Structure 1
């Protein structure tokens, strides 16, 4: 496994899909299957494309920043900061599994909205 290449590919894949090109992201970075664990997204390649096409149509002005990227074995973890319309902000942690050919084949995530106030002065990222 090429950890640095997997990290680069995970970021490029997520950024491309998030910014409105999920079909191209699938073509470039995903293998023959895509196992989805997010309950809001249908399983498989087409489920991924449909979800991100819908998000781009409904929220074209959203943005994403990649705060951390960690790789181990065949997994890459991304820690992101997302800003959506109305200044709604979210922290996500996404995990991607890569197959033996270096293609993404599985995804898990956790999403938390950044509250307006916090009990401490530390950021969530």
Structure 2
């Protein structure tokens, strides 16, 4: 398997594990010596990441995530996801992960958009 494919698989495994309620193990397996966070709702560093996802698991245990696509270039992986939250509240996210030379995640950016109830076209956002 190529380095690029391994990074994509690791980014998906990391995010899925954290999202499903085990962020501490996700950090242990997939994060490097530092973790730079760019999401303004999550504290910088691994403990901020763990705290955020532990809280989400407690507050929203029924949420789900589908990985629509993964794209990798150089040391970056981008994940396009479709998330479904309670009361059919749906979101599309774009997450970007930077990997270090050891193949570990060290930086994260994201953008999130709620899927509107109506659309000017019949195309999905995923």
TM range (shorter): over 0.9
Aligned to 2:107: 106
Aligned to 1:39: 40
- The one-character-per-residue Cα deviations of 1:11-70 (angstroms, maximum 9, x if unpaired) are 000000000000000000001110000000000010000000000000000000000100
Aligned to 2:61: 60
Q: TM-score, normalised by structure 2?
A: 0.98
Aligned to 1:115: 116
**Matches of 2:68 and 2:31 in 1, distance apart?**
23
Q: How does 1:1-125 map to 2 (within 5 A)?
A: 2-125=3-126
Point out where structure 2 has 5 or more consecutive residues left out of the alignment.
Answer: none
Point out where structure 1 has 5 or more consecutive residues left out of the alignment.
Answer: none
Q: TM-score, normalised by structure 1?
A: 0.99
**Matches of 2:87 and 2:19 in 1, distance apart?**
18
Question: C-alpha root-mean-square deviation of aligned residues, in Å?
Answer: 0.7
**Ranges of 4+ aligned residues in structure 1 off by more than 2 Å:** none
Partner of 2:107, secondary structure, is strand
**Matches of 1:119 and 1:32 in 2, distance apart?**
45
